[in-house]
Amino acid sequence: MASRKKTGGRTKGVVNRTTAEIREHYQNLVSDNLEQLKSDLKELEPLARLKIIIELSKFVVPTLKAQDLIISNEESNTQIDYSKLSTETLKELSNLGIKT
């Protein structure tokens, strides 16, 4: 089957009109309710307030990619990729005196 040239539709990079409208309405909703949001946050316990702020920041602050950490042991030619280990495992290794 022969491949045909794409015709019609949005050109690359153009934002979907509906998506743009929804974003604009949501932005207006948040802007119009900033004082109420601040008031609601102040009523929360500190830990709950921090959790909410962190969750909201995901929509404003770009998420950075975790850096891969690979350590080589020249004697045994072994590599350990610490980025694949869980936080709990890293804590256990630290408690055992192993530098991560």
Residue 2 lies in a domain: no
Same domain for 48 and 29 = yes
CA distance 32 to 69: 44
**Is pLDDT at 80 greater than 70 in this prediction?**
no
The token pair that represents 89 in the structure block: 């495992």
Residue 5 lies in a domain: no
Q: pLDDT for 64-75, tens place per residue? A: 666 555 555 566
Tell me the C-alpha to C-alpha distance, in Å, between residue 10 and each of 6, 38, 79, 88: 11, 39, 47, 47
Query: Quick one: what percent of the chain has pLDDT higher than 70?
Result: 73
Domain hosting residue 27, numbered range = 17-57
Encoded tokens for 29: 């909703």
pLDDT in tens, 20-37: 899 899 889 989 999 999
Are 71 and 79 contacting, i.e. CB atoms less than 8 angstroms apart? Answer: yes
Evaluate whether residue 28 is within a structural domain. Answer: yes
Q: Beta partners for 57?
A: none
Same-domain status, 50 and 75: no
